[in-house]
Structure 1
């Protein structure tokens, strides 16, 4: 069938740039994106100028470049242009297949503009294959998915609603459903008037004429054919004007003079203006059928010869073009297949590398787990040894030390001892008590059950109260820490802080001559443990160097990234500050 083919030629491919502008652009492109975009524009330009083989050549280049860089050009644009090119080559089955592949792709992308465009090409290819039912469904889907808002970036010039409606009208015309044909053509005509599209207006007016002719309303048909011819000539569409002369010949049967007049008008247009070969053939075939009906044998034979010459030319060119396009298409598909195969090989290598890497990582994780378990076993063994040492010190050395203290106290209580002997017994007792306290602290630091702040605070409080018991110094102990039992503190840190506090309490007892000693422990917002120890004694003498005890406090604080500061005004005040 010829109607859709004739009316569709100008619909897409409205490239604005000329070949002389596009080719230098491609040659000067430094990026693949630049080449791909301009090559696609050039393919549409050659489609517009009816140079279909060149259009296919540049589209093939686009396919190759786009395979390596799929993000640059929307793939539905390639499917759409290829489907249209197959339509013009007369390869309607190929055109249908390309449109269907494009529809599948556009559906996944939810690109309604592309879906409508591709359904349109599927519909006109099916129409030429005389599959009118499937063609109608495809064109209705084009109408359904059409959207004036194109959300995705495209280089393709998409079909418009008037194109869909005009071809639906042509389909209904072919099925002799005159009312439906008029309905769709009227919708297309209204839009064409708004858009001021000369070609669309001429097409729709011509379709109105065919509808009226089909309904045997010849006067109305003649009116629309004349109107279509005038519109076509006004916009320089000589092919439509020529075909209108053929339709006017049919409308004037059996008036031979009028028929011959319109035939001569058609010949004048063909002789003086550029008219596409396919339109010439259609005009001459229409004229020949009319001459045959009017039994004008001489004119019929002359036209049949012209038609044969045109068809031979078309057949030769068509066969050549079809062979070339088929060869180009097959070569392009082969190259695409090779690219896909190479890509698959790359992916296989990458997958193998990924599997090897995964196995290596798994092996390393297993080794790390084994090492971690081994380290845990060693730590557990060390903890057991620490616990055993702690228990041995408490049970063995502790009991022996207690025995020494008892004997020293008993010796000190005897009345028949000399002064020197009593001094010796007292010294043994005090030294034993100090060693016992140190031993108790050492055992306490080894026990991980006490590795929390709450146990540390209780130990300090107990020690301070016991040490100052019976002494002329009153103890004030304050602490303000919430959830102290949940705050972890290592045995090493507990030991060092405790010895610092012990040294400061001992200094207050020995040197301060104070009557009050306060210990205040708190936790700052930045989780720093702050310990403030103050007395109301005589303070630290000016100019006196720090003793070993205070120097040791500084070293113990530095070991845990803490600080030790003190002042000696109105008594002695020391601050220990360290992070937990």
Structure 2
């Protein structure tokens, strides 16, 4: 995750070098006057909308070909390859443009031009995930760069760092460090702090992936030291990510927490991948440190299930890592039900990732197969042109066929081994899921038994206490009934609270319909006892909605607290509860009364213990609650909760 951020930073930096880079003699030839407005218009448009600049660059390229302006053609080709790769994700068209640009470079025969155009080709391969091809293109670009006679100030030296990042992704860590060091040695005498930070970031990523903790700590701390003294904070996030990894490697979890908190504070937008990358790091800290309190503080933020289920918002691998992180910290906080949901989502995303890997393997196999076929075609043509003897021709063709058959057999065998490995992993995951399911079923049985015993034993005892106090008052009216009345009221209240606990524990009540029936029963009796008219409007149910005990309890306690507040403070004569389920599966509870409304400031009202408890109950389950004075008088309370599908 960290090296990917560094790679994108270097990639963009490498492709946005001064467009006068390359051979001085060639770039002394400026763009013709008639083409400058077209290219300037494309550059200006790209600042606001890079994708919209593509048609302008294509128009400029067509005009440059017409005027035979090679300088303009090179500039247009470079930018079109880059924009089609990054903003259009059209790899085929980007490579076609790159092929055309290479043909132009052969005509110009300028090392600097070759270097720039192969660098843009590396961008196209990198964005398409073809890392080996990207590394080859970057290596070729550097070879031409070394042949270029232009001054160093005009050369594209960030190509070294670009290649280092690619080698890190490919697992060639020694080559990655070697190229990053070349990049660093060039810019250290120039005191180019930004590029020095980039070099140390790349080296620390390579050392981190190679499990070289000693060199990783050295380079990461150097990157941090340079960043602290550097006024431009654009790379601060990447450096802080490295420091989190550093502190985790040395088990300094307190420092890791501080840096992670700074990362989250710098980007609190929950609709960006960076937010969830930071959240994943925080959960890893809690898991490695076995810090239950820290895990609970992360869970207080709520689980952004809506963002995690949005396939267009976050990459598949990132969503899988976030669900794994939530599963680990939920196990620590003993929230087994929510942990089960997260591990099921992580398992589902793992299967999708595995499918993608299989598709990539098939694509690589197809590319290799086409290469072998092309080699055979070229070999056959070469044999026809040289007119060798039939014996030699047969031997060579036989050797080619044997090589093809051997390659196909080897790839098929390796593929079979990989499929078997994936199958065993899948079976292992299924076994773990079955074990988790059995544990959860045992817990449900235990919940039911506890609920039954509470109702049968404790409930009977409390009811007996209440009845006994009533009989005592009747048989001995001369006694002071204040203490007896307190005992009777407490016993009755405990019976009600016990019944609520039993209702919460009973998994047979884990539905929205059961919750609404329970609310209706309580509210009707409570309002009648206080002389207030109560009306409840229910939606038409088209399917059954499952609610776990925690959600049911928090929703019920919120409605109960609201009704108590109405009786105590509102001076109302009627109360209405309207229940709505939207098309997006939002459950809305809207409670209104005709009382005097909230007389104080809303901020002061919400800060009270009762209303603060209501807000905490709803936030615990990931919902929202709003208090408002109704225009016609009275108070309105709206509770919103996203139903799980």
Band the TM-score falls in, shorter-chain normalisation: 0.3 to 0.5
Q: TM-score, normalised by structure 1?
A: 0.44
Q: TM-score, normalised by structure 2?
A: 0.39
Structure of greater Rg: 1
